[in-house]
Amino acid sequence: MSMSIIILLAFLLDMILGDPVRPTHPVVIIGKLIDSFEKNLRKLFKTSRGLKTAGVILWFATVLLVYIATYCIIKTTYKFNPWFGYVTNIWLIYTTLSVRNLADEAMGIYHEIRKSNIGSARKRLSFIVGRDTADMPVNEICRATIETVAENTIDGIISPLLYAFIGGAPLAMAYKAVNTLDSMVGYKNEKYEFLGWFSAHMDDLANFIPARIGGILMLMAATVIRLDIKRGIKTVLADAKKHKSPNSGIPEAITAGVLGIRLGGWNSYGGEMSFREYMGEKLREIEAEDIKTTVKLSFITAIIALIIGEIILDII
């Protein structure tokens, strides 16, 4: 079975089953591994310089172990039985993708808003964003959901797909380790300022090329569903660089542009207000239907990425 078929089946499995939430999920295991490494490294390193060194060790130990473990698991299962190897390979790649899960989470918020269950919408949103949601008005719930879907179109779909096409399950799983490290320790706060600096920078590096490829694919998807691609291009060129992340600004600016809305603004994190630069022109107010359109944009971007990846892999 070719790698193109394996990735296609993994993608379809994600579309059918969504994200498997269970203790044996590889990302859950990676999270426990990171937590264990962190606790032990903090016992050995106490100073700011020591914690920076620990951050480098943490990153390499986690990513290399995940890559090697995935490689060995696949090799062992293939030796045991080729079909068992195929199934293992498909399952591992499937767990790195979030096409269905991202859509389900966002559409769940959309439906709660449509039913005027604002409290439920806020609660569902709190599961997928780090900002405070308790008192959010509807337009801010919509904005937060749209920004999250746009950003995670890269982190949860394009990046793992790209790494799967390049290096199969081991590289895709290593990318998930990089992404999980950033989400767990890559914060610029007192606790992780030194330990998490390397993980944050490496996540930016890992997503640098996927974000730019993903941006092009998002513009192609915008054309398919007849959104304003010209405004999308104008907005990404003008506003993407305003984002604190060198990558997240690309999908968010494109989304703002093609929809004709303005993203960014004031957010609350742990009771403290933080301002994110605006992206896009405020041609109209954000509404719940924009969540639905953003999900559609994300989904079509994923399909285009899959098709192009399959074609290139077959040619190579």
Q: Total structural domains in the chain?
A: 1
Residues 6+ apart with CB under 8 A from 147: 252, 255, 263, 264
| Sign of the alpha-carbon dihedral angle for 236, 242, 246, 247 | negative
Return per-residue pLDDT of the chain as tens, 316 residues.
788 999 999 999 999 988 776 676 888 899 999 999 999 999 888 888 999 999 999 999 999 999 999 999 999 999 989 999 999 999 999 999 999 999 999 999 999 999 999 999 999 999 999 889 888 999 999 999 999 999 999 999 999 999 999 999 999 999 999 999 998 998 777 788 888 899 999 999 999 999 999 999 999 999 999 999 999 999 999 999 999 899 999 999 999 999 999 999 999 888 888 899 999 999 999 999 999 999 999 999 999 999 999 999 888 7
Domain that holds residue 195: 3-315
Cβ-contact 217, 307 below 8 angstroms? no
The Cα 222–Cα 195 span in angstroms is 39
Closest CA relative to residue 61, chosen from 199, 230, 222: 199
Q: Give the Cα-Cα-Cα angle 143, 284, 157 (nearest 5 degrees).
A: 35
Q: Which residue has the tokens 């990171």?
A: 34
**Which backbone phi and psi does 273 adopt, to 5 degrees?**
-80, 140
Phi-psi sector, 260: left (phi>0), alpha (psi -120 to 50), beta: left
Helices 138-153 and 118-126, interaxial angle, to 10°? 30
